[in-house]
Each structure stands twice: as structure tokens, then as C-alpha cells.
Structure 1
Amino acid sequence: MRPVSFDLEVLRSFVCGVESGSFAAAADKLARSTSAISAQMKKLEAQVGVPVLRKAGRGLELTQAGEQLYDYAQRLLSLNDEALFAVSEASLQGWVRFGLQEDLSSFLPSVLGQFTRAHPHVRVEAQIARNADLLSRLESGALDMAVMWGEGGRRSEVIARLPMCWIGSEQQALAWRASSAEPLPLIMFDTPCPFHHAGTEALTRQGTDWRVAFTSSTLPGLAAATQAGLGYTIRTRLGLQAGTCVLDELEAGLPALPSIALTMRYRQVERSVVVERLSRIVLQAIERQLG
């Protein structure tokens, strides 16, 4: 049987369409016509031999084969980009210091590994910390860039705006009810914390009494207390910890929460080539994670 080789440009269109939510949006992003993207999808299905897309209302969704292909396509494109960087920029040298939130710690280390393999002569130092610590290190010059929560200024760019969520235990139901006279037990980071501020402010506006039942300086600490049913905490769906779940606000009698910006912040407005390269890879990884 003659081997079939996937066209990486077709796979790129496929992945872009899935991540954009439509192939019309992918056509705009890739500066191609919608008919050209449609032709690529037909070619892709002919190569695979089974449908990878099916109609769902006015849009399209992935079939089971499409889900599998999507995972492989992401890996192939990532390897392609890594190889391109490694060959074309093998001589890139320098030093970059990068900080990130714990919410992102599960998938970004692999991205840093990808960067260091592509640029073996660049020294990368990474630190996981809370917002206040990251901001302090940026201002002091100890970090070159950091992924943080909250709005930034001229030296930052917004990656996404994510809704804050009330988080509870998957297994241990909390005895507190909105109709009870007891204050709501909260599991929080110490202040300053944007989630702490948003949650307590929303509860106060609603007229719901609250108390801080548990504090921790780490995300696993918050997750452990939440899993045990000691109270509710507030995060986004990004990096949701095992054993916890997002609560329905209306069902739980909790107030609606605002969205929060996820930003990439930089030490300087003018950035080095090394910082630009790492920033691009990190932003692409986060966008893929957010879907």
C-alpha cells in the first residue's frame, strides 16, 4: 500500500478551523478563501478515508476520527514549528527569565522544554509564583516576562478574558445554604488576590455574610481544602484541580462573578529577540489550551 503523507498546510487549516470555531473564521485568519479551505477539508477526508467533520446545526463538529486527527495534527504542527525554529534559529543565544501562575503549571513546562530543545544556546529560568510576587520581580528586573492575572499597562498584552467561577468539592457537599444564617466559608489566598477581592465584594453586594475558613499560599493547598469540603474557592476553569468542580451560581445561591484578564507582561516595552520567541510559543500554547 502506498504511504499517504499529510499536507501540513491542510492540517494547519484544519486545526485553525477547530480552534476558531468555524472554517470561515479560519479562512480570515489564514488569508485564504472559504472555498479554498473547504477544498482542503475534502482533500483531508479523502486521505483519511473516513469523515472527520459532521454537520451540527448551522456549524460543524468533529467526528470521533476527527478528534483523533486533531490531536495528531496539533503534535505534527508543533513538531514542524519546533524543527523550523531549531534549524533556522539554531544560533540564537541569550538569557530569558519567565514567570507564570500556578493555574498554568500543568502544561507550560512542556512548552518550555520545546523552546529549550529548539534553542539550546538560550538559558531559560522559570518561576511559578503568585501575582504579587511576579509583579514585584518584574518591577525589580528579576523577570523579563510573566503570565499573570489582571489588566496590565503599556508593557503587557491581554491573552484572554476568562469568567471567574465558584469552585467546590466533587465529593464532599458543603452544609452551608444561602438561606442559612451561617456565613459562607471561603478558601482563599491571602490578600492581595484578585479572586479574593472579586468574591468578597460580590458576596457583600449580595448581602451574604462570609468568613475565610482556610488560607494557603499555594494552589494545591486551596484545592486540598476545597476537595475536603471546607468551603468554596474562586478560580477560572483554566487548570481546574482534580477533585473539584465548577458550581452553578443560581443553584448554590451565590452571586455572579466578573471575568478576569489573563495577560502577558514584560519588563520592558522594547523586547529582545529571545523574549519575543519565547513569548510567541507560550501564547500559542495558551490559546490552544483555551480552545
Structure 2
Amino acid sequence: MFDQDLLRTFVTIVDAGSFAAAADAVGRTPSAVSMQIKRLEEQAGRRLLVRGAQGVRLTGDGEMLLVHAREILRAHEIAFDAMMNERSARSLTLGLPDTYVATLLTEVLDELVAGFPDTNLRVVVDGSGALMRRLEEAALDLALVTEYQLGGDERGELVHLERGLWACAEDCPALALTPLPVALMFEGSVFRRLAQEMLRAVARPYRIAVTSNAETVIRAAVASGAVVAPLPESRMAGLRELTPEEGFPRFPPLKVRLRTGRRRLPPAGEWLAQRLIARAAAVDAATKAPAAPAPSEFSP
């Protein structure tokens, strides 16, 4: 059996890129982190990491263990979440992709916290596929998931609809480069999947220059002019849309659906679900409302 604490340190080193950075992240000294990896390698009976001038790199055995380590730690988190949810009728766990935090969560968060001060809100940010697995495993009460990423599964209330766009800076040196440098979210993101399918469809060579699970990082990379990236229309402030005439196909409409978990929702969950559904209805009504007629030049 692998020690979970050792696995967590191992994953942190890989993600941080060095023993020193990992030591800061886990609150230990670099020598203590080194001892942990030594113990893990003794448990595995294999060399897992190699230090070099450019940081650390995984051995072949290290790469294999990394995949399983992430799954083990994730399974532990899911089990913990499920137990906490069962214990507390006043807890609410919501999951959504980072792309929609600013659009869907920010405007209701203050009302939720103020209206339900005795509710412990936990927000999980992940891709739609991972969120659905967590929902099925009873680790989430509510999830906002992108319909396209789930193969067109239309279960749940449609709470958001918008265009996805190819974004670049006003001054974008990246457009002149081949292969095209792009910034993409981690695996599991609807934008990553769509972007790669589109670029392959138009036979445009590309390389993934920046990868992050945070939309703020993707936007910052695009704003620098070093990359292009897919973003929702609501997050395009200060950026320019790339068009089909420039070789960038249009995205299909991005539909976000609200799914509920297995347990009965606490009052805060019921309120949040109704609030998101009402918001969607108001937006839909506003977009369908006829435009007011222009005043006649002969009007008094």
C-alpha cells in the first residue's frame, strides 16, 4: 500500500516542477520532501524522479505511478466529499467549469452567502466530464455542465447559452507563426476538445503553447499576443474575435445545463437552482423581445 501523504507530495513535485517549489506548497523543508520521495521510491521499488538542471523529470515508472497517484488522491477526495455531504444537511457542494465561474456564479454568490449564513458552500472547479462522475458518485449536490462535452445529453435545466469564439490580442504576433501557438484548458474542457477538432478539420498546424485549468491564465496568455485561444463570448473584453475568413471556424452554441445529485437538496441548493433557472428565463425573454420601434421624424 502506498502512503497517501507520500503520493500527494509526489504529485505536487511533478506539478510544481521542483523539490523547492513543492516544499513551499506542502509546508515542509526541501530535505523533508526529499526524504518523502525516497520513502515512496522504496515502497515502489523503482526510481520515480530524476533531478536535473531544468528541474525534475519523471522516469517511465514515475509516469505510470503518476496516473495512478492522481486517481488515488481523487478517489479519496470524492469519498471525503460524499461523507461530508451525508453528515451535514447544511452543506452545499457545487461543481462547474472555471469558464463559467464569472458568468454564472459571481452574480449570485453574495445573495447565496447572505441568504443562507448557516450553509457551508463548497465550490469544485473541474471539466464537465469529471463533474458528472463526481455527481454520480454523490460528491456533488449540483453541477453546471456543458452539454456538448457530454455527447448532447439534454438532461437537466438549460441555464446558459452563448457563443464560443477564437480570441487573440489586437496586436497578435502568434498569427504569423507556423505551427500556430494556442492556449488550452486541461483535458476534459469543452473548449480544448472543440478547438483541436476544428484545427484538425481545417488542416491548420498548431502546437499547445500554454495549458492551464484557470481561465484567467488563458486570457492573460491571449492578451500577451503570444497565443490564440477559444473563449466564451462573455469573456472577450479587450480581445479580438478571429473569423472564418481568417481560417478559424465558428463554434457551435455552448449550452450549460444544471444537474442535481442523488441526495435531497438543502434549502440553499433549492434557492440556487431556482435562481439560475430564473436568470436563464429572464435572459431568454430579453433576447426574444421585439426591438422598440424607432421614433418617427414627424412625432411631436
TM-superposed CA distance for 1:280, in Å, is 1.0
The equivalent residue for 1:114 is 111
1:38-187 correspondence to structure 2 within 5 Å: 94-106=90-102, 108-151=105-148, 153=153, 156-170=156-170, 172-177=171-176, 182-187=178-183
2:270 is the alignment partner of 1:276? yes
The equivalent residue for 2:210 is 214
> Which ranges in structure 2 are unaligned for 5 or more consecutive residues?
1-88, 287-300
**Distance in structure 1 (CA, Å) of the matches to 2:111 and 2:126:** 22
Q: Is the 8 A contact 2:158 2:257 kept in 1?
A: yes
Q: Deviations over 1:196-231 (max 9, x none)?
A: 121121222222222212211211111111111122
2:253 is the alignment partner of 1:245? no
**Distance in structure 1 (CA, Å) of the matches to 2:90 and 2:283:** 28
The equivalent residue for 2:252 is 258
Instruction: Assess, with a 3 A threshold, how the Cα gap between structure 1 residues 286 and 101 changes in structure 2: closer, same or farther.
Output: farther
TM-score calculated relative to the size of structure 2: 0.55
Q: Over the residues paired in the alignment, what is the CA RMSD in angstroms?
A: 2.9
Q: Deviations over 1:224-275 (max 9, x none)?
A: 11111122101221333x542322332x222232222211122139655543
**Distance in structure 2 (CA, Å) of the matches to 1:102 and 1:273:** 25
Q: Aligned partner of 2:244: which letter?
A: E
TM-superposed CA distance for 1:165, in Å, is 0.8
**Distance in structure 2 (CA, Å) of the matches to 1:118 and 1:196:** 36
**Distance in structure 2 (CA, Å) of the matches to 1:229 and 1:289:** 33
Quick one: which of 224, 229, 232 aligns to 1:233?
229
TM-superposed CA distance for 1:289, in Å, is 6.7
Q: Is the 8 A contact 1:160 1:263 kept in 2?
A: yes
Instruction: Assess, with a 3 A threshold, how the Cα gap between structure 1 residues 96 and 188 changes in structure 2: closer, same or farther.
Output: same
Instruction: Assess, with a 3 A threshold, how the Cα gap between structure 1 residues 288 and 229 changes in structure 2: closer, same or farther.
Output: farther
Q: Aligned partner of 2:181: which letter?
A: P
TM-score calculated relative to the size of structure 1: 0.57
2:219 is the alignment partner of 1:223? yes
Q: Is the 8 A contact 1:187 1:230 kept in 2?
A: no
> Which ranges in structure 1 are unaligned for 5 or more consecutive residues?
1-92
